[in-house]
């Protein structure tokens, strides 16, 4: 008999229409989610931990840091084989990435949720929960780090993203593909990450790292404003290989001089950053101004990485090496 713990955090999967509020709100606990399953779980026992229940758009870094610690506490029990986290889809890729980065245990950690709330007759939640529990009970996911299970597909947390606002097959690992799938309770793993995940153990996540999205003709105004109001780090969602409009190189140099790190990620879904282009705020100029490059980590996840590294007290060369280690 395998033993899996379900940690319920709210989200669409735990939501139903709230007539008094005129909206859909989270409110179902983990026990109710288990009762919704349409099929039995063969040789798997499930226990429940009810965590902070909220839509994932309302969660913050401190909450998810505490969630990662709770996951490790649960997995420290030798009788627990894996964990399932039910979670809202809006920020699921971010929480899963933090679990991939922070959870010390190599036991399976599987995030899942729903796109159709529990009040729909065809809600996708029960199927996703059933598949996720089967995946969390599988030894084939040991050592992979946190994953997202949705619509039968298993995606590694490093690369997965929510690619559609409402469809039930919302998640994709663009350019990399899924790790495997669950088919009628059977777990099939087709590939594993080529490199071990770099587990980090910060004492906290720095909440003051800001993400700045760049568009044609953007100015460094928001970047400077964030720094002036206490931002401890900046991540730029930049063009292509890691380029920015005029003025960003100088702004980066100014912030670097004040000890505020700047990471350049790409807004592209595939490929990696690399300093190639020069002149004002091309990648080479940004690098010469002190910017670090995120490689193939998305801007959203680069922000979380920087939050963790700053929370671990890293700065200067140590910080740069830690970012480089994920390339």
Which of 89, 91, 112, 161 is labelled catalytic? 89
Place of tokens 């996540």: 205
Place of tokens 């729903």: 114
CB 87 within 8 A of CB 112: yes
Radius of gyration of the chain measured on its C-alpha atoms: 20
| Residue 12 known to be catalytic | yes
Which of 12, 123, 273, 285 is labelled catalytic? 12
CA–chain centroid gap for 242, Å, is 21
What CA–CA distance (Å, rounded) separates 303 from 315? 15
89 is known to lie in a ligand binding site = yes
| Residue 201 known to be catalytic | no
Give residues with Cβ within 8 angstroms of 162, minimum separation 6.
89, 90, 92, 93, 170, 171
Give residues with Cβ within 8 angstroms of 76, minimum separation 6.
105
Cα→Cα distances 166→14, 156, 215, 238, 298, Å: 16, 21, 25, 26, 21
CB 117 within 8 A of CB 15: yes
56 is known to lie in a ligand binding site = yes
CA–chain centroid gap for 220, Å, is 27
Backbone angles phi, psi at 186, to 5 degrees: -95, 130
Cα→Cα distances 142→65, 115, 129, 149, 249, Å: 22, 27, 19, 15, 43
Q: Which residues are catalytic?
A: 12, 89
**Binding site, residues?**
56, 89-90
**Binding site for substrate, residues?**
56, 89-90
């Amino acid at each position: 008999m395998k033993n899996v713990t379900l940690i319920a955090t709210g989200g669409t999967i735990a939501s139903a229409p709230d007539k008094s509020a005129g909206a859909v709100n989270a409110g179902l606990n983990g026990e109710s989610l288990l009762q919704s399953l349409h099929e039995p779980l063969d040789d798997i026992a499930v226990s429940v931990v009810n965590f902070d229940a909220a839509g994932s758009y309302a969660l913050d870094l401190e909450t998810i840091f505490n969630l990662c610690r709770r996951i490790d506490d649960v997995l420290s029990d030798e009788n627990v084989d894996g964990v399932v986290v039910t979670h809202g889809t809006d920020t699921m890729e971010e929480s899963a990435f933090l679990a991939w980065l922070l959870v010390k245990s190599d036991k399976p950690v599987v995030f899942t949720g729903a796109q159709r709330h529990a009040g729909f007759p065809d809600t996708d939640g029960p199927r996703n929960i059933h598949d996720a529990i089967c995946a969390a009970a599988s030894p084939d996911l040991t050592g992979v780090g946190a994953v997202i299970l949705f619509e039968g597909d298993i995606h590694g947390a490093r690369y997965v993203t929510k690619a559609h606002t409402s469809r039930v097959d919302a998640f994709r690992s663009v350019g990399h593909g899924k790790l495997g799938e669950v088919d009628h309770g059977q777990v099939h793993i087709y590939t594993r990450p080529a490199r071990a995940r770099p587990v980090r153990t910060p004492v906290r996540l720095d909440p003051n790292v800001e993400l700045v999205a760049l568009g044609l003709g953007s100015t460094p105004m928001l970047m400077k404003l964030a720094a002036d109001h206490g931002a401890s780090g900046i991540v730029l969602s930049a063009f292509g290989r890691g380029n920015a409009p005029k003025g960003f190189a100088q702004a980066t140099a100014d912030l670097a001089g004040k000890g505020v790190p700047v990471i350049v990620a790409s807004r592209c879904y595939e490929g990696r950053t690399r300093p190639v282009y020069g002149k004002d705020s091309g990648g080479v100029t940004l690098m010469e101004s002190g910017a670090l490059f995120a490689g193939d980590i998305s801007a959203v996840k680069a922000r979380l990485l920087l939050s963790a590294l700053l929370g671990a007290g890293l700065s200067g060369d140590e910080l740069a090496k830690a970012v480089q280690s994920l390339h």
